A and B are shown apart, each in its own frame.
Chain A
């Protein structure tokens, strides 16, 4: 897997996010094509297959790390939507941009 930026190791979470980004890119690209070619069977089959792979991985990512859509996965003790980093903060633990792991995992102060 190609690195898109220059520093450090790729964590398991980043790897999984990168794969989700690849899959949703493939979906987006196919969606735009299908809008103009709505009866293209090859594109329809590719879309369905990619969507299934995306859904599985998204569910695993949200269960393990952080919600991608609000309310996804478990919210028993805290609303995880605001306890996990926003996309523009991704990967800057040295600047305080990213919440500490304990907080990111749910915290319990409220």
Chain B
């Protein structure tokens, strides 16, 4: 279960609305490497993970990703306050607006709705953990790209924080992979999948 805390992980107060920024940042909510995909991926992978430490990392990183979903949603909400129809059309936000007004809906910047196809749950220790390492790097690249396009410091500061979290999570999944490999057959990590096989198969 979870308990909600009525606070953001990092402060966000955006003075100047900007629907163009909202239209690209939305990829970090519902895009292929966004925060919703991240939390769903890690929290789902926990159930087949045989090692306590790794389940802890999946649980706690996955939970932090939920706080990042809230941060990105907050940025989107604040960037779309008090807009006029003219500002909406001018920024190209009209195509989103017609379906969602200024509600926060998980989709990629190109308009594709969130899809579970963005995540992998293979039920295999090495496959899942290496997917997680790659996911953190891909999310980091997406933040790099956003920071190349965005000038407003009110928006950049929380995005920079989130970018740093991707790097830290990559390190923590590195810990997870090390712990898992320490517990696996060091001569042949692929000899069995400890998430399924009860014992190493006979040669």
Give residues in A with beta carbon < 8 Å to B. 4-7, 14, 17-18, 20-21, 24-25, 28-29, 31-33, 35-38, 66-70, 81, 84, 86-88, 90-92, 95, 97
What's the count of A-B pairs with C-beta under 8 Å? Answer: 101
Shortest CB–CB separation between residue B8 and chain A, in angstroms? 5
List 10 A-B pairs, Cβ < 8 Å.
Answer: A5-B13, A5-B157, A6-B153, A25-B9, A29-B168, A36-B179, A69-B5, A88-B12, A92-B78, A95-B81
Contacts A70-B4, A95-B82 given; does A36 touch B57 at CB 8 Å: yes
The 6 closest A-B pairs by CB, nearest first: A36-B175, A35-B56, A88-B74, A5-B13, A87-B8, A35-B57
Residues in A neighbouring B202, C-beta threshold 8 A? none
| Chain B contact residues: helix, strand, loop or mixed | helix
Chain B stretch 35-94: residues in CB contact (< 8 A) with chain A? 53, 56-57, 60-61, 64, 70, 73-74, 77-78, 81-82
Shortest CB–CB separation between residue A8 and chain B, in angstroms? 9
Contacts A5-B154, A67-B6, A69-B3 given; does A33 touch B11 at CB 8 Å: no
Instruction: Name the contact of A36 in the complex, choosing from B12, B70, B172 (C-beta under 8 A).
Output: B172
Residues in B neighbouring A24, C-beta threshold 8 A? 5, 7, 9
From B75, which residue of chain A is reached at the shortest CB distance? A88
Instruction: Name the contact of A17 in the complex, choosing from B7, B60, B61, B81 (C-beta under 8 A).
Output: B7
Shortest CB–CB separation between residue B26 and chain A, in angstroms? 15
Residues in B neighbouring A29, C-beta threshold 8 A? 168
Complex CA gap A90/B77 in Å reads 12
Any A CB within 8 A of the CB of B15: yes
